[in-house]
Amino acid sequence: MEFLGYRRNDGTFGVRNHILVVSSVSCADGVVEAVGRSLPEVMTVTGAFGCGYDRVGFRVVTGLINNPNVGAVLAIGLGCESLKSEVLAGSARNKPAEALVVQRDGGSTATTAKSVAIATRFLEELRKQEREPAPVSELVVGLECGGSDAFSGMTANPAVGIAADCYVGEGATVILGETTEMIGTAHILKRRGASPEMGEKIEQLVNGQERRVREVLGERAGMVIAPGNIDGGLSSITEKSLGCITKAGSTPINEVVSYAECPSQRGLVIMDTPGYDIASMSGFAAGGAQLIIFTTGRGSTAGFPAVPVVKVASNSPMYHKMPGDMDINAGSIVDDGRTVDEVGREIFNLSIKVASGQTTCAEINRSAPFGYMRGIMF
Amino acid sequence: MKSNALRINDNDNVAIAAEVIKQGDPVVVNGELVCKTTEDIEPGHKVALFPIANGEIVFRYGEPIVQVIRDISQGEWVHVHNTRPVPGDLQE
């Protein structure tokens, strides 16, 4: 099966062709935002903590710069920060990248004018590129859930599990994240490991996360492990977490990667990301995901910079209450007698269309929040 | 017949109510009547599709989720009042 993507020099394929305008430190955010106001076509990313030493931030931002959906990069720094914009631009492989420095390039107004000129040139270059057929096996798809409800584990997540199996069947890479949401299923995920060693690795990851949560939060650990589940009908932590990991379908787990690390294997992969949706999606995007499928029960509106996010509603009342935010209604499994399988295939087919250029609700709404894991985050 | 409960995996011995199922009303899964409820079942909550004996395991997603602590009859609500975590699982 094929989609239409932008071929990159390193053999990967983007599903978008964005110009990323990114600050290396929050002090340069004003210039980045001004560029965004002048040229709404560019994708702005602000909020990097480049002033101090921030190893994770560096990995996330350089990972996003090298995401196949990014066609060109303009990095803007203040000048006195430790994470230089030249270093960010220099990290870009196989794509045009330039750096500006506010303190060197004439202050905010002049740097904004120079930035707009560079971004305009990038826009003209990128407009010449055309989509071409690419095998679905070239896709890396992140799976996210946020604002879950009692229906998430009944409708949206099992349906996404079918879509995940379809992607793996095509030879693509699927990333399951949110380690905290796996607590209680270490023994089940262990069996899913592609080898006994991989099973051990998965068990250690999930049990380690549980230990950390209990060490840091003590009696309040339940807030992140099992928030308000009993009223919704969930009888054990295992049952709750099974509802989350069902998004990953039924195939073996081939690899465990750390936060914002690129998988080296295809098929189903676990990434150690926090339960905070935006930070989790940053990990996927930095790990090379060109597409994210996101289930929600309460109604999350979050997209992500440069990576289209397909929103799957778990229930029809929310889908109808937030019509411009949801791409697919998995509540139809409950209300219209559709099967999990049918809706799963709909998610797969729609997300392939999105990969070929169809815009998602979050893209239309220009919802592209950015944030990443800093310090202790579950 | 319109379904009012979902069974995710063929090995599951419970279904999840998609809407309120009143006491004595039919539980319909995939368009087929399975049993009648012995009490009201709230949406998102579990109903036993078969009798489950004391000590037996409740399966959802084809995986063990809780252990039954007394005999549960077909059509009965299955939750924390008549189950406990599977031994070895997290107990919270």
pLDDT in tens, A304-351: 999 999 999 999 999 999 999 999 999 999 988 899 999 999 999 999
Tokens of A169: 């069947």
What pLDDT is recorded for position A331?
96
> Do the Cβ atoms of B63 and A238 come within 8 Å?
yes
Rounded to a whole number, what is the distance in Å from the CA of B56 to chain A's nearest CA?
A: 15
- Establish if B57 touches chain A: CB-CB under 8 angstroms: no
Contact (CB<8Å) A242/B79: no
- Domain limits for position B26: 5-84
- In a domain, residue B90? The reply is no
In the three-class reduction of DSSP (H, G, I as helix; E, B as strand; rest coil), residue B88 is classed as: coil
Query: How far is the CA of A64 from the CAs of A47, A91, A316, in angstroms?
Result: 13, 10, 34
The structure's pTM equals 0.95
Number of compact structural domains in chain B: 1
CA A125 to chain centre: 27
In a domain, B69, yes or no: yes
Burial of A282 (0-12, 13-18, 19+ CB in 10 A): buried
Taking the CA atoms of A224, A175, A89 and A310 in sequence, report the sign of the dihedral they define: negative
Pick among 3.90.950.10, 3.40.50.2300, 3.40.47.10, 3.40.640.10: CATH of A18-127: 3.40.50.2300
Nearest CB among A184, A188, A333 relative to B90 is that of A184
Contacts with A235 from chain B: Cβ below 8 Å: 46, 58, 65-66, 78-80, 83
Closest residue on chain A to B65 (Cα): A239
pLDDT at residue B90, rounded to an integer: 75
Tens of pLDDT, residues A189-234: 999 999 999 999 999 999 999 999 889 888 787 777 766 678 889 9
Nearest residue on chain A to B81, alpha-carbon basis = A235
Instruction: Kindly report the three-state secondary structure assignment for every residue of chain A.
Output: CEEEEEECCCCCEECCCEEEEEECCHHHHHHHHHHHHHCCCCEEECCCCCCCCCHHHHHHHHHHHCCCCEEEEEEEECCCCCCCHHHHHHCCCCCCEEEEECCCCCHHHHHHHHHHHHHHHHHHHHHCCCCEEEEHHHCEEEEEECCCCCCCCCCHHHHHHHHHHHHHHCCCEEEECCHHHHCCCHHHHHHHECCHHHHHHHHHHHHHHHHHHHHHHHHHHHHHHCCCCCCCCCCCHHHHHHHHHHHHCCCCEEEEECCCCCCCCCEEEEECCCCCHHHHHHHHHHCCCCEEEEEECCCCCCCCCCCCEEEEECCHHHHHHCCCCCCEECCHHHHCCCCHHHHHHHHHHHHHHHHCCCCCHHHHCCCCCCCCCCCCCC
Domain boundaries, chain A: 18-127, 135-364
Residue range B44-63, pLDDT digits in tens: 999 999 999 999 999 999 99
| Complex confidence, ipTM | 0.95
pLDDT at B80: 94
CATH of the domain at B77: 2.30.130.110
Q: Which residues of chain A have pLDDT under 50?
A: none
H or E element that contains B36: strand B32-36
Query: What does the pLDDT read at residue A227?
Result: 64
Backbone angles phi, psi at A217, to 5 degrees: -100, -15
Residue with tokens 């609500």: B77
| Nearest by CB: B83 against A151, A154, A235 | A235
CA B36 – CA A378 distance, rounded (Å)? 42
